[in-house]
Amino acid sequence: MKANQTQLDALVARMLAGSKAALAKLITLVETQGCDVPELMTKIVPHSGKAYRIGVTGPPGAGKSTLTNALIAVARSHGLSVGVVAVDPSSAIHGGAVLGDRIRMQPHFLDSQVFIRSMATRGSPVGLPTCIGDVTKLLDAFGKDIVIVETVGVGQLDLSVMEVADTVLLVLTPDYGDTIQLMKAGIIEIADIIAVNKADTHAAEGLISRLRSVLSNTERPPVILATEALNNVGIEELFAELEKHRK
Question: Helix 132-141 and helix 20-32: axis angle, to 10°?
Answer: 160
CB 72 within 8 A of CB 108: yes
Torsion, Cα 242 132 141 21, to 10 degrees, reads -120
Domain region containing 104: 49-246
Same domain, 62 and 33: no
What letter does residue 212 receive in the DSSP assignment? H
**Whole-number pLDDT of residue 177:** 59
Same domain, 183 and 215: yes
**Whole-number pLDDT of residue 226:** 96
What CATH number has the domain bearing residue 219? 3.40.50.300
What letter does residue 192 receive in the DSSP assignment? S
Same domain, 41 and 135: no
Residues 6+ apart with CB under 8 A from 16: 47, 141, 142
Single-letter amino acid code for the residue at 152:
V
**Whole-number pLDDT of residue 60:** 80
pLDDT in tens, the chain (247 residues): 556 888 899 999 999 999 999 999 999 999 887 656 888 999 999 999 999 999 999 888 889 999 999 999 999 999 999 999 988 765 443 344 445 555 667 778 889 999 999 887 655 545 567 789 999 999 999 999 999 999 876 545 567 788 899 999 999 988 875 655 666 567 777 889 999 998 887 788 888 888 888 888 778 889 999 999 999 999 999 999 999 999 7
φ, ψ of residue 86 to 5 degrees: the values are: -100, 115
Same domain, 42 and 150: no
Residues 6+ apart with CB under 8 A from 31: 119, 122, 129, 131, 135
Conformational region of residue 197, where left means phi above 0, alpha means psi within -120 to 50, and beta covers everything else? beta
107/128 Cα distance (integer angstroms): 25
Same domain, 149 and 203: yes
Number of domains in the chain: 2
Same domain, 54 and 14: no
Same domain, 41 and 162: no
Same domain, 119 and 72: yes
Same domain, 13 and 2: yes
Same domain, 80 and 119: yes
Same domain, 140 and 212: yes
Same domain, 176 and 117: yes
